[in-house]
Amino acid sequence: MNRDGWWRDGQRRTGQRVDGRRARVPARGGLAGGGRRRARRTRTGRGRPRARARPRRQSAPDRAARGAFVTLHAQGHLRGCIGIIEGRLPLLRAVADNAAAAAVGDPRFPPVTPDEVSNLTLEVSALTPLRTVDGPAGIIIGRHGILLGRQGRQAVFLPQVATEQGWDLPTTLSQLCRKAGLPPDAWREGATLRVFEADVF
């Protein structure tokens, strides 16, 4: 049956559509006594059948808007890393865009050449929403990525960076300040610290 109530054989059969106000009745023929009573109750507004609850539509993981970073490595060395911190695009689109940008748009490295592609490994970090912490005590190394901001400058480290480098928390924050173009102790006073977590693939 199509959306207008017509069947494939070209016949329109009454009684098959339920819109939340109309009782379900046979497609053809007369009504049994109980069917008449049900139909009358429906027409008079009494005994109205319940409308079926529609299941809530869930967003597929690759369609939900999430922040995402794509990191490229060549023989164990960083070859490019580009991402967005806040979820403005569906995850699948964000990963595709950032993968291309990491390959040819990271200003720290020359563009990836076709000959390099087979030797690259790709790491995707899908981020949780940012939240502000009161100070360094709210940061867990290895679990939290960190976004530091001060005086209009900011820099970010993914959760895995400090662990891979063997840094403790003060060293991580000092390195983050340097990355932002700030003095290494700028995190100690007046800096905004926000954290996030990441699903890494």
Do residues 131 and 196 lie in contact, with contact meaning Cβ atoms separated by under 8 Å?
A: yes
Share of the chain above pLDDT 90, in %: 64
Position 65 confidence tier, pLDDT thresholds 50, 70, 90: confident
Average pLDDT over residues 19-39: 42
- Where are the chain's structural domains? 61-127, 128-201
Q: Give pLDDT, residue 42.
A: 41
Decide if pLDDT at 90 tops 70.
yes
Decide if pLDDT at 10 tops 80.
no
Give which of 121, 22, 109, 130 is closest to 67, Cα–Cα: 130
The verdict on domain 128-201 having CATH code 3.30.1490.150 is yes
Q: What integer best gives the mean pLDDT of the chain? A: 80
DSSP β-bridge partners for residue 88: none
Q: Select the more confidently predicted residue: 144 or 7.
A: 144
Q: Give pLDDT, residue 60.
A: 53
Compute how many other C-beta atoms are within 10 angstroms of the C-beta atom of residue 2.
Answer: 7
DSSP β-bridge partners for residue 122: 72
Instruction: Tell which CATH classification among 3.40.50.1370, 3.40.50.720, 3.40.50.2300, 3.30.700.20 matches the domain 61-127.
Output: 3.30.700.20
Q: Select the more confidently predicted residue: 175 or 42.
A: 175
Look at residue 114 and give its three-state secondary structure: helix
Q: Give pLDDT, residue 100.
A: 96
Position 197 confidence tier, pLDDT thresholds 50, 70, 90: very high
- Burial class (CB within 10 angstroms; exposed 0-12, middle 13-18, buried 19+) of 55: exposed
Token pair of 73 as six digits: 């490595």
Token pair of 186 as six digits: 């700028």
